Amino acid sequence: MNEPVERIRGGLVVSCQARPDNPLHGPVYMVAMAVAAERAGAVGIRANGPVDIDAIRARVNLPIIGIYKKKVNGVEVITPDFESAREVVEAGADIVAISCARYQRPDDEALGQLILRIQVDLKTPVMADIGTVEEGLTAARLGAELVATTLQGYTPDTVRTEGPDLELVSRLVAAQSCPVVAEGRYSTPEHVREALDRGAYAVVVGTAITNPMAITAGFVAATRRQA
């Protein structure tokens, strides 16, 4: 079960996702992004929803970290339940990422049961998307194979940093033994290298590679700044 976890060790995972308002939304473009990432040397792909995951699985031989973003009580949650996890695994995901943010999953027992059920019933390792050290410690204690800093700056109890929160990576690595995946606002090769130097198991990069609309907007903003 842990073979896909081992395959991403020390490398770059490319997140191939596009929201409905993005012209690249849909499996055709996400497959192209994933194929390009594989050819460039990425060790894994992160993808959202069974449609995109199924299409990427047909063309790419890398491990896929599958998620399924759904609205729960008006709030978007990453893979909120077992059924969501089952759908992404059946589509071809090798690892399931789930939100382990405290404000979304305050019940440790229920979270532990979900992690265990994915591992046992689906025979698939779990990556815990967290925003704080405490959430990471909880997820590791409950048995997640990987802890990822995905949600730092996107939850009510975290403050968004200008770039990646490299200090969170260092603190998680020092606090527990579960492999730490660095994710969230990694936009340069230097960010990736520093995260690995701080002990990250792997690094996930999305927007800076697979979202031309956001990249372009950053350049456009620079043209509008006053000297």
Provide the pLDDT confidence category of residue 225 given band limits of 50, 70 and 90.
confident
Q: How confident is the model at residue 114 (pLDDT cuts 50, 70, 90)?
A: very high
The H or E element containing residue 119 is helix 108-121
Inter-residue contact 168 to 151 (CB < 8 Å): no
End-to-end CA distance of the chain: 55
Span 109-132, average pLDDT: 98
Instruction: Give 106's DSSP letter.
Output: -
The residue-averaged pLDDT of 21-41 equals 98
With vertex at residue 94, the alpha carbon angle to CA 4 and CA 188, rounded to the nearest 5 degrees, is: 70
Pick the CATH number of 3-223 from 3.20.20.70, 3.30.200.20, 3.40.47.10, 3.40.50.300: 3.20.20.70
Condensed to tens digits (0 to 9), the pLDDT of residues 189-219 reads 999 999 999 999 999 999 999 999 999 999 9
Taking only the tens place, the pLDDT of each residue in 172-189 is: 999 999 999 999 999 999
Domain boundaries, the chain: 3-223
